[in-house]
């Protein structure tokens, strides 16, 4: 299954992707995670994107497209993938379409996790991640177990979140009609509990929970 998870920052894309990939048996391809790994490893790409990300801006399309398209051509993506955080602009959506079409492939669905702007700041400023496992926590909604070391993302400041929300509305939300016109769009309410959101996603995808 070839899927895209889309939604504003903090909607729960990463949280849901981690729950869904084992159920659907496809890899989780998160452009944000790939950039963060590059920063952590001190690569040229990491140096190039560090400041852009910290300020909540988008990494240039040509850099992002090259990285993600190469990733989905790897062997583990042969029978599908779950994209999280990509595409985020119209040129990225078109590049993905073209890359898939060149291999006679197409997307199965794009799942929009809807969340109102008002809840996003609280979700994002309270987000913590465990570097060892990649688990996503929230200081209030899903506190990390005692003894688990967690860190805060460099771009999870209120300032950067405001910038990221602006980018979402200006650049990413406009790609939704592009997929709607293709009949691929499925929407779920991201303001429910994580379990309910997972159930809704499986239901709109027509997948039975195993």
90 classed as catalytic: no
Site string for ligand ADP, 157-196 (x = CB under 6 A): ------------------------------------xx--
153 classed as catalytic: yes
Please pick, from the candidates 28, 71, 88, 123, the single residue that binds ligand ADP as defined by CB under 6 A.
123
Please pick, from the candidates 2, 4, 6, 9, the single residue that binds ligand ADP as defined by CB under 6 A.
9
19 classed as catalytic: no
71 classed as catalytic: no
What is the bridge-based pairing of β-strands 136-138 and 127-129?
antiparallel
Cα distance between residue 187 and residue 7, in whole Å: 10
Q: Binding to ligand ADP by residue 7, rule CB under 6 A?
A: yes
Q: Are 11 and 114 in contact (CB under 8 A)?
A: yes
The site for ligand AMP, by CB under 6 A, has a size of 17
Cα distance between residue 160 and residue 54, in whole Å: 7
Alpha helices in the chain (DSSP H): 13-24, 31-40, 44-54, 61-72, 90-102, 117-125, 158-167, 176-180, 194-204
Q: Which is nearer to ligand ADP, 132 or 181 (CB)?
A: 132
The residues binding ligand ADP (CB under 6 A) are 7, 9-15, 123, 126-127, 136-138, 141-142, 193-194, 197
């Amino acid at each position: 299954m070839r899927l895209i998870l889309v939604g504003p920052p903090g909607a729960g894309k990463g949280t849901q992707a981690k729950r869904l990939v084992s159920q659907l048996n496809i890899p989780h391809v998160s452009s944000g995670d790939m950039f963060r790994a590059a920063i952590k490893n001190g690569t040229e790409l990491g140096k190039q994107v560090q400041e852009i990300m910290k300020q909540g801006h988008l990494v240039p399309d040509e850099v992002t497209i090259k990285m993600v398209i190469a990733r989905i051509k790897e062997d583990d993506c042969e029978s599908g993938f779950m994209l999280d955080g990509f595409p985020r602009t119209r040129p990225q959506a078109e590049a993905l379409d073209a890359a898939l079409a060149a291999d006679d492939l197409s997307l199965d669905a794009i799942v929009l996790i809807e969340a109102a702007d008002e809840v996003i700041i609280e979700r994002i400023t309270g987000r913590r991640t465990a570097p060892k496992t990649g688990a996503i926590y929230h200081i209030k909604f899903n506190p990390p177990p005692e003894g688990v070391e967690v860190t805060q993302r460099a771009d999870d400041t209120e300032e950067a979140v405001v910038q990221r929300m602006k980018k979402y509305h200006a650049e990413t939300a406009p790609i939704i009609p592009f997929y709607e016109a293709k009949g691929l769009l499925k929407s779920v309410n991201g303001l429910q509990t994580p379990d309910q959101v997972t159930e809704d996603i499986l239901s709109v995808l027509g997948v039975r929970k195993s």
